[in-house]
Amino acid sequence: MLLHVVNRSPANSRVYEQALSGMGPDDVLLLIEDGVQGALPQLVRYYAEIEGRLFALREDLEARGLLGRCAESVQVVDVDGFVTLTEEAERTVSWY
Amino acid sequence: MRYAILLMGAPYSHQASHSALRFARALVARGHRLEAVFFYHDGVHNASRLAAPPQDEPHLMDAWTDLSREHEVALQVCIAAALRRGLLDEREAARHGKDGISVAAPFELTGLGQLIDLGTRCDRLVTFGP
Amino acid sequence: MHEHDEPLRDLLVILRHAPHGSSWLKEGLDAALVAAAFGQSVSLLFMGEGVMALMPGQGPGPLEQKGTAATLEMLEMYDIETLLVDAEALSALGLSADELMLDVTPVSTEAISEALSAHCLVLTF
């Protein structure tokens, strides 16, 4: 199981497509930095194919006033949870 | 577990270095060992000892230095990327006839081989890009 | 969980940027070459704009800045022979594999995720 990290919004970058094509059926994806915009209900559709395997970083949501505005299917984790995800995954691949 | 971080974003311009530092602190707080942070691409700018951000803003170079001294984390800066971007330690400054020094300990200019070595011997390598 | 009959290869370098417009491509190739020089088994995967790295007939950039074409010609000498290219990226740019400057293996999306699992370390540039 791999962890993928995306730091750009799907609204202005297509790197999310590359991340999705790199994902295997058990892999998970964490949105950080501007990438947390992808957790908004209007944008989470870009990640529809990985529903249930999508995470967003709490601190970056908070900084942007987006905490509480995430789509329900997105799992919010803090930086400690981010570290946990990297422990559980065999390796982490960053898409920026 | 033994971790390494590859950082490729410059401080201030992008969030990468801030995210990397936050992650680094969290992983040592969880009891992991952070072997090294390898600075490549614009990440080399984190090593600049001449950075002078305002008092009320984060000082990335100081923060990396504190992390390094407190937890014995190696701060390895790709020499090729650094020289091109004006990040020179005392030795390189002398070698290139420059009258300023922009990199000092605990940051060390090293080759890309160190990155490959870290990737091989650490359990986890996490990249933060701009 | 992907089953592997073969042992994992050491390093997969994913190249996502085109030549000249930024330093990413060169910096990614440098990392790949260093790993190969250290005796590691290295594969390259060209995704997105990265496929432009393989266009034939490239020249230098402004100020005679060297491109990456010469470095790519050296890959074989460093025993980097596994060159994967995202088939969708190729067709999105209207390119076919046989036009490119090196022998490459076009791969499907599924094969891309398998490639990530088949290497101990993955670096993206």
pTM value is 0.97
Report helix angle B60-71 to B16-29, nearest 10. Answer: 20
Q: Quick check: A79 and B22 CB within 8 A?
A: yes
Whether the per-residue pLDDT at B75 is higher than 50: the answer is yes
**Inter-chain contacts counted by CB atoms under 8 A, chains B and C:** 37
> How high is the pLDDT of residue C1?
43
What average pLDDT does this structure show over B64-82?
98
**Which position has the token pair 């209007």?**
A42
What is this model's ipTM? Answer: 0.97
Whether A96 and chain B come into contact, CB under 8 Å, resolves to yes
| Cis check: omega of the bond before C19, within 30 degrees of 0 | no
Task: From chain B, pick out residues whose CB is under 8 angstroms from the CB of A2.
Answer: none
Q: Is the pLDDT of residue C33 over 60?
A: yes
Q: Is the pLDDT of residue C4 over 60?
A: no
Q: Which of residues 46-105 of C touch A (CB under 8 A)?
A: 47-48, 86, 88
- Which pLDDT band holds residue A24 (cuts at 50, 70, 90)? very high
pLDDT at A23 (0 to 100): 98
CA distance B98 to A38: 46
What is the average pLDDT value for chain C, to the nearest integer?
94
Would you please indicate which residues of B are annotated as catalytic (active-site) residues?
78
Residues of A in contact with B26 (CB under 8 A): 79-80, 82-83
Shortest CA distance to A28 belongs to which of A3, A51, A7, A60?
A: A3
Answer whether residue B62 shows pLDDT above 50. yes
Nearest CA-CA partner of B75 in B95, B47, B113, B41: B47
| Tokens 């417009």 -> residue | C21
Please report the pLDDT score of residue C2 as a whole number. Answer: 47
| Mean of pLDDT over chain A | 98
Chain C residues in contact with B113 (beta carbon < 8 A): 34, 37-38
Q: Are B77 and B63 in contact (CB under 8 A)?
A: no
pLDDT at residue number C5: 63
pLDDT digits (tens, 9 = 90+) for B2-30: 999 999 999 999 999 999 999 999 999 99
Chains in contact with B via at least 3 Cβ–Cβ pairs below 8 Å: A, C
Does A33 sit within 8 Å of B32, measured CB to CB? no
Q: What is the pLDDT of residue C65?
A: 93
User: Are B30 and B2 within 8 A, CB to CB?
Assistant: no
Domain architecture of chain C: domains with CATH? 9-53+66-124 (3.40.1260.10)
Asked whether the predicted pLDDT for residue C3 surpasses 70, the reply is: no
Q: Are A92 and A7 in contact (CB under 8 A)?
A: no
| CB of C10 closer than 8 Å to CB of C122 | no
- Note the pLDDT tens digit of each residue in A48-68: 999 999 999 999 999 999 999
- How many CA atoms does the CB half-sphere of C51 hold within 13 Å? 23
* pLDDT confidence of residue C6: 74
When computed from its CA atoms, the radius of gyration of chain B, rounded to whole angstroms, is 14
**Alpha helices, DSSP H, located in chain B:** 16-29, 60-71, 79-84, 90-95, 113-121
Spell out which residues of chain C touch residue B6, defining contact as CB-CB under 8 Å. Answer: 123
What is the percent of chain C with per-residue pLDDT over 70, rounded to a whole number?
96
Report pLDDT digits (tens) over C10-24: 999 999 999 999 999
> Domain A2-95 is of which CATH architecture?
3-Layer(aba) Sandwich (3.40)
What average pLDDT does this structure show over C67-83? 94
Q: What is the mean pLDDT of residues C69-89?
A: 94
